[in-house]
Structure formats: structure tokens, C-alpha cells
Amino acid sequence: MQIQDFTPPLAHTADRHHLYERAVQSPRAEVDFIDQTYRKLRGRSARWLREDFCGTAAVGCEWVRRRPTNRAVGVDRDPEVLDWAQRNNLATLSADQRARIQLLEQDVATPASRPLDLVLALNFSYWLLTDRAALRAYFAQVRTALAPDGAFLLDAYGAMTPTASSSRSGRWRTRSLGASAMSGSRHCTTR
Ligand SMILES: C[S@@+](CC[C@H](N)C(=O)[O-])C[C@H]1O[C@@H](n2cnc3c(N)ncnc32)[C@H](O)[C@@H]1O
């Protein structure tokens, strides 16, 4: 029997992080939405943003590109993806932009060290917290991390329509992208 030359499938040569970004992320559009939503909710521009479950930190990088006053922290517990983020995304930033973003290798449940304007948990990442206690602890940690007029933005399934009561209270703002912004006022982040 003759052994044929083996040509590895194209997928073997692909970079999974690069493919992930191309498949499900659009950092410019995401930052447009984040920036506009915060301004609409709070009447000012956000400055300090934390990207939880940041993976390749694509959104955090776009955030520091957007304005010279913007600062970002990316949190992920996987050192491999953070290393990829450093080499492929942070490496494309200017020295000034790079000085305004920090990547932390830690669990999202770890308490934050400073008040944040925005916390993000995008692309349904918080669904990785599969039991009620872990999810509740995470939401409580976010609530503590937010500045008094901070906001927590996370994806909900599909394009949510606000219920009558939520519209009346103004606690939930939604948009057709399927992203929802949960008000960061201290009294309602965990509700
Ligand atoms: C879907 S990926 C990245 C999502 C990305 N932020 C986006 O918008 O597409 C989820 C990431 O969450 C990280 N992760 C999962 N559980 C975590 C936890 N408890 N604490 C920190 N990072 C976590 C994984 O390492 C992975 O990089």
C-alpha cells in the first residue's frame, strides 16, 4: 500500500483566537454602542472600563484607542489567551494607548481595586457561571466595583423588549443588538 502525502486541513493552520474575533466580535460597533449607551444613561462619557471574560481584549483595546482619557482593565483567568492578546492586540496600540490598558490574569469573582464607570460581560460570557451562587457572587462583585453612577453591560438572549414595569421604572434599557444595559445605580445592579 502506498502512503499518500498528508495535507493537513486548513483548520489545522488556523488561529482559533483570530477566527473567534472574526466570527463573533465587532469591537468598533461594540464600543460605539457602549459609549453611546453610557452617555445616554449618565449624561457624561465613561472613562474607566473593565472587560470581564476579556479573552483577546479586543474591546478593551478599542476602548483605549477611542479617547486619550479612556482606561481599560481586561480580566481573564486563562494565561494563554492573555498572552495572545498581548502579542496580537496590545502590540498594535501606540505606547500611550498601551499604558492605559492592563490585563489581569484572575477570576472575574476577584474584587476590583477602583471604582469603575463600566463593567462589560459580553458575548454571553457570564453564562459560563452555571450555578446560582457563582452568578450571584459575580453580580454582587460587579455592583461593588461600580462607581455610584457606573453601569454594567451584558448580553441577553436576542432582542429583549422591556416589560411594562421595567420601562416605567427605567431600570432596564435595551436595544435591538441584543445587548442590554443594566443600570449601575447601587440599588439596582443585582436586581
Ligand atoms: C467567550 S470567551 C471571550 C468573550 C469575549 N469577551 C467576547 O466579547 O467575545 C470567554 C472567556 O472567559 C474566560 N473565563 C471563563 N470563566 C472565567 C472566570 N470565571 N474568570 C475569568 N475568566 C473566565 C475564558 O478564559 C475565555 O477567555
DSSP 9-45: PHHHHS-HHHHHHHHH--HHHHHHHHHHHHHHHHSS-
Q: What number is the average pLDDT over the span 147-167? A: 70
Lowest mean pLDDT among 40-44, 89-93, 182-186: 182-186
Query: Above 80 in pLDDT, residue 20?
Result: yes
Cβ contact 145:111 at 8 Å? yes
Domain boundaries, the chain: 14-183
For residue 108, which atom of ligand 1 is closest to its CA? Answer: 20
CATH number for the domain whose boundaries are 14-183: 3.40.50.150
Atom 25 of ligand 1 has which residue's CA nearest to it? 78
* Residue 77 in contact with ligand 1 by CB distance below 6 A: yes
pLDDT at residue 13 in the model = 85
* Ligand 1: centre distance to CA 75 (Å): 8
Q: What number is the average pLDDT over the span 10-33? A: 93
Query: Above 70 in pLDDT, residue 177?
Result: no
pLDDT at residue 113 in the model = 76
Lowest mean pLDDT among 60-74, 126-140, 147-161: 147-161
Cβ contact 181:143 at 8 Å? no
pLDDT at residue 114 in the model = 80
Cβ contact 172:151 at 8 Å? no
Place of cell 474584587: 111
Return the higher-pLDDT residue of 143 and 159.
143
* Residue 64 in contact with ligand 1 by CB distance below 6 A: no
Mean per-residue pLDDT of the chain: 84
Q: What number is the average pLDDT over the span 90-109? A: 97
Query: Above 70 in pLDDT, residue 128?
Result: yes
Query: Above 50 in pLDDT, residue 169?
Result: no
Residue among 10, 81, 80, 23 nearest 51 (CA): 81
* Ligand 1: centre distance to CA 106 (Å): 11
Atom 1 of ligand 1 has which residue's CA nearest to it? 125
What does pTM read for this prediction?
0.83
* Ligand 1: centre distance to CA 10 (Å): 26
